[in-house]
Structure formats: structure tokens, C-alpha cells
Amino acid sequence: MKRVLGIIIVLALFGCSKGMVKHSFIKSYTVGEIETAYIGQPVIKIRDIYQDVNKDGNNKCFYAKPSNDFTLTGSYDKKLFNRNFSIKGSSKKLFSLGDKTKINGVEFSIFDIDEDNGNTYGLMVDNEGKIVVKTIYDGNHDSSSMYDLNNAVLTPANTTMIVTNKIAPCYESDDHYLVGDNNFELLYGGINNVTISMTYREYTWNDLARPSFFQNLVYETSAKEIRFKDFKIAVIESSNEKIVYKIIEDKLEDTVFRRDGKEFESLEKSREKD
């Protein structure tokens, strides 16, 4: 009887999957893997996601990692101003190739990467894994946010993005995609003789900073493990250049519930008002 009941429940879930919503979190890290963040970059960055359950499983994104540590420097013209940037990429970090674009009929993947000052840029990758150094996305991945680069230099010049065996759900371009209200980041601020400093910031669903949800945090420099909210972080190395760490625990779990439930309906209504 228990087995029959279990089968009925499974069939019910799949049978009504068009009316189901998955609540997930896009994370800047992978639990249990060693990560590196430079000063001004996020140790933790979370985006709160609601999306229709996709039965066919075609909404998958691949992850890639750089063939080596690299830097990309240059400038671009935005709103009559010339903006300089300097981006550092670590070969130990995975980047989602979740978004794509076409230029003159040629398809490119896009991955996001943070600058030391916290700005996020989108870089294009061709089908051979080469990073495109002619253009950059500032913010969104649409034509209005794409800028031509001036004097861009990629070091080493032969840096490529290597696709790994990690695959995860894509969200950015799918239908019925909504951002929730639990969006935040923890930025690395360096150390002194006594403390490790970090900055906590919260964001609204449309990426506006919440001034009242801003906090400077300090931890003992000698700490091998630190806690933040429900996060447990192992500190492997810290300096005034970078922190090497591992997220041991985050307690952020995916959940699935009915689309016509109160939680999702209230979220949709609030977005319609904004």
C-alpha cells in the first residue's frame, strides 16, 4: 500500500508540473569547493529565483572555468564618459555560461564576472572558448548594455574558458522567471592585525540597494571558520589582496510548490505593481 501511495504521489507531481513553481537560489559559489575572492569581490552572492518547473529538463546551463588566472583591462564609453575597468579571473572559479547572444549570425555564450570594486560585467565566449575582447556587457545582457572596448588587453592573451562537467538549471532567459526578495552579497574588505573585514549588502528584486540593509562585519584574523547568517565559511588564507575560502554550509535548499498557491500569487501581484 505504501508503494502504491508513493507512485500516486510521484505521478501527481509530474502530472501537474505545469502548475508547479520551483524556488531556487543562484549562488556565486559551490558548497564544499575552494573559492577565491579579491578585495571588493563577493565571498557570497545570492539571487533569489522563482521559476516554472520544466519537465523536459532542457533548461540546463553549463559551467566553465578559465584555463589560467587572467586579467582583462580597458575602457569603454558610456553616457559620454570614458569608463576604465580591470577584471581578474581565477582558474579555480566556475562561471555559468547560462546566457547566449548572436552577432552577425554567430552565437556566443556570456558569463558574468565581478570587478574588484563590485561592478559586474558580462564577457562573451566563442565556440572555441576564446574570450571576446572587443565588447563588454555592463549590467544586463541586452544590446543597450553592450559597449565596444577601447584598448582592451587580455593577459595571458591565450586564455580560454574550459567547459566542465557541472550542469545546473538556467533561469535568466526562461518564461515565468521572477526574482524574489532574498538577494544579498558579502564582500571581502581585507585584513589588519586584528580583524577580517567584510560588508553585507541586500538588494531588491530589481537590483536596487537597500540602504537600511547594509552592515560592516568583522571577524578575528586568526579565525579558521566564520559564520554569517546560516553560512559556515572555512577560511583557508586571507590577506589584503584576497581571501581563499570554502563554503561548508549554507542551508539554502530548493523547494517546489503549486503555482496557484498564496506565496507565488502574492509575489506575482507585487511585481505587477512595481
pLDDT (average), residues 124-130: 92
Phi, psi of 224 (to 5 degrees): -95, -15
Segment among 8-17, 34-43, 144-153, 159-168 with least mean pLDDT: 8-17
- Mean pLDDT for the stretch of residues 244-270: 78
pLDDT one-digit tens code per residue, 19-35: 667 788 888 888 999 99
Q: What pLDDT does residue 255 have?
A: 82
Burial (Cβ within 10 Å: 0-12, 13-18, ≥19) of residue 145? middle
Domain boundaries, the chain: 19-55+171-273, 61-169
* Cα 255 from Cα 53, distance rounded (Å): 11
- The pLDDT tens digits of the residues spanning 258-271 come to 666 666 666 666 66
CA torsion sign for 163, 164, 165, 171 is: negative
Longest distance between any two alpha carbons in the chain, whole Å = 71
More confident residue, 61 or 182: 182
